[in-house]
Amino acid sequence: MGTEGENVRVIAGRYRLEERIGRGGMGVVWRAADQLLGRQVAVKELVLDPSLSAEEARLQRERTLREARAVAQLAHPHIVVVHDVVEDEERPYIVMELIDGGSLAERIAGRGPVDAREAARIGIDLLGALRRAHGAGVLHRDLKPANVLMEAGTDRVVLTDFGIAQVAGATTLTESGAFVGSPEYTAPERMSGERTGPESDLWSLGALLCAALSGESPFRRDSLGGILHAVVVDDIRPPAQAQPILPVVRGLLERDPERRLDAAEAERLLREFLETGRTPQVPVAYTPTQRDVPRRALPSPPWEAPETATPPVAVPSRPARHSARGALVTAALVAAMAGAGVSAAALLMRDGGNGGGTPTSPGPPHTSVSPSPPSASGSSPAPTVTVTRSPSSASAVARKVPSGYRLTHDPDGFSLAVPDGFTRSPGGERIFYLSPGETFRIGVRMSDPEAGGPLAVMRRSDAEGPSNNPGYRDGRVTETSHGGNPAALWEFSWDGFTAAEGPRHTYDLCWQEGDRMYDVWVSAPVGRMREAKPYFDVAVGTFVRG
C-alpha cells in the first residue's frame, strides 16, 4: 500500500516519490528514491480512464502491466531501462532509470533546431532502438521529440515512454473517437485505423527528424482537422533544412507503408551521410527487406505481349488508390472530427471532396524527363515492343482504358489514357500531363526523324544527361521495338530540379513510326516508382497518333 508523508508518498513499500518531473497523456513521471537499493529512479504513474467500469479498468491495468513487462525485456543502450513494474492501490507504476537531462523537445525549444549531422546521429540511435523493439514485437506508438531524452554530459539518445496504455488493437482512434498519441507524428495508416506495424513508428521518426531540423513537425496545423488533413492528404513538404538527408526523410514519410523506407536502409543511408558528408542516394532497385514486395509483382508492360496479339492493357491497382484513399481519408477525418466536436459537413467543405488541388503551372522543361519503373530483378529489361494496333482505332483504345484513367484526345494530334486528376500543361515542344502537386509527370514529344533513329536520339540524351538533369546517374539505353517500329528505352535517376522536389527516376520510350518520331516518358520520385510504373505502361500502351 502507498504511504503518505507530508510531501512524499511511498508506493509498493519501496519507492518514495519525491518530485514531479513530467506529465503526459499517459500519466505523471516522478523523481523517486529506491529505498531498497539506495538509488534515484524515475517512476511513471499511469492514469486510468475514470469513465471505465470496474471490469474495464481491471483489464486495462492487466494490459498495461503486461505491455510494461514486455518493454522491460528490451535491453538496448538507446532504450530507457525499466527496473520494475508494480501495482499500488490498483494503480500501475513503471519504475525506470532516471536520465539526467531534458527531452529533445526541450532542447529544441531552448537551443533551437539541430544541424543535419546531429539529426543523423539522433536518427541512427533511434533506429537502433526501434529495430530492437520491433524485433521483440514491441511498437512504440508515440515517437516524438518529447519522448526522446538527451542525457546531460554524454548526449546519449534515450527512447522512452512506449505506448504502454494504448487501447486494445493498437489503433489511433478509440471507440469513442478520442485521439491516442500525437497526431503530428502519427502515420496515416494509424489515422484511418487501417493497420499498425513497425512502419508506423518509422513514419513518426521521419516527422521527428523534420522537427529536430526545423523546430516543428511538417504536419503542424492550427487544428486537429488541419493536422489530420495534412498527414493523410496534403502534399508533404519537408523543411529546407532536411536537404542533406532528404532521401531518408522522404523515404520515411512515404504514405504507403509497403513502400516506406525500412529501418535497416534508413540507418545505412544516415551512416553514409555521416561518413561522407554527402547526401545519400536511395538505390533505384531498392526493395524493403522488412516486407515481401517482389519486383515480379509489378504489372507486365503491355509491349511484352506476342506480336500477333492486341492485348488489353492490364488494369493496375495503384492508380486507383488515390480516389480510394480519398474516401478512406474522409471517413477517418469524420471519425476524428466527431471525437473532437467538428462537424462532418464542415470537414467535407474544407476538403472539397477530393484529395488535392489542380496544378496551374507547367512542369520545368527538361530533356525527355520521364519516370521509370524498375524490373523484377531491379534492372531494366530489354523488352521487344511488339504491340500491334491500328493507328486510327481510337475506339478500340478507349475500350482498353483501365479503371481510374480517362482517354484524352490531345489538341496536338494524339490520344492516350492518363490517370484521373492529371491535367494538361503544354511546355513548348513537350506536352505534360501532371498529377496534383506535380509529383508525377507524363510527358509526350513529337518530332521529325533524326539521323540514327530512336537509338541514336536516346544515346545522345544519355550523353547530355549530366548537363540537363542535376545529379544525373544510372543512365542506360536499350534498343528495342514498338509496334514493329524501331524504338529505344532510356532509364535514369537524377536529383530533381529543386531541393524540395528531391531525387526522381525517369522511364522513357522513343520510337519512329512513319514520318514522325514519338517520345513518351514518366517522371516520379525515386521512392514512388512502383506507383508510377503503371502510369508509364498505360500511357505507352494506349498512345495513338492522329
CA dist., res. 447 & res. 323, Å (int): 35
Q: Are 165 and 194 in contact, with CB atoms under 8 Å apart?
A: no
Write the DSSP assignment of 21-54 as a string of letters.
EEEETTEEEEEEEETTTTEEEEEEEEPPPTTS-H
| HEC profile of 199-256 | HHHHHHHHHHHHHHHHCCCCCCCCCHHHHHHHHHCCCCCCCHHHHHHHHHHHHHCCCC
How far from 158 is each of 28, 67, 107, 124, CA to CA, in Å? 18, 19, 14, 12
The three cell numbers of residue 298 are: 509489378
Q: Where are the alpha helices (DSSP H) in 341-422?
A: 344-351, 394-399
Active-site residue, selected from the candidate residues 125, 142, 519, 537: 142
Q: Are 473 and 281 in contact, with CB atoms under 8 Å apart?
A: yes
* Positions of E strands within 59-134: 82-88, 91-97
What is the DSSP secondary structure assignment for residue 324, as one 8-state letter? H
Q: Reduce the DSSP state of residue 419 to 3 states and report it.
A: strand
What is the DSSP secondary structure assignment for residue 179, as one 8-state letter? B
Residue 536, amino acid: F
CA dist., res. 402 & res. 389, Å (int): 17
CA dist., res. 248 & res. 258, Å (int): 15
Q: Reduce the DSSP state of residue 72 to 3 states and report it.
A: helix
Q: List the strands of the sheet with 39-46, edge to edge.
A: 3-4, 9-11, 15-24, 27-34, 39-46, 91-97, 82-88
Helix (H) or strand (E) holding 55: helix 54-72
Query: Half-sphere exposure of 480 toward its Cβ, with a 13 Å CA cutoff?
Result: 23
CA dist., res. 355 & res. 343, Å (int): 19
27: left (phi over 0), alpha (psi -120 to 50) or beta: left
**Distance from the first to the final alpha carbon of the chain:** 86
474 labelled catalytic: no
Which residues does the annotation mark as catalytic? 142
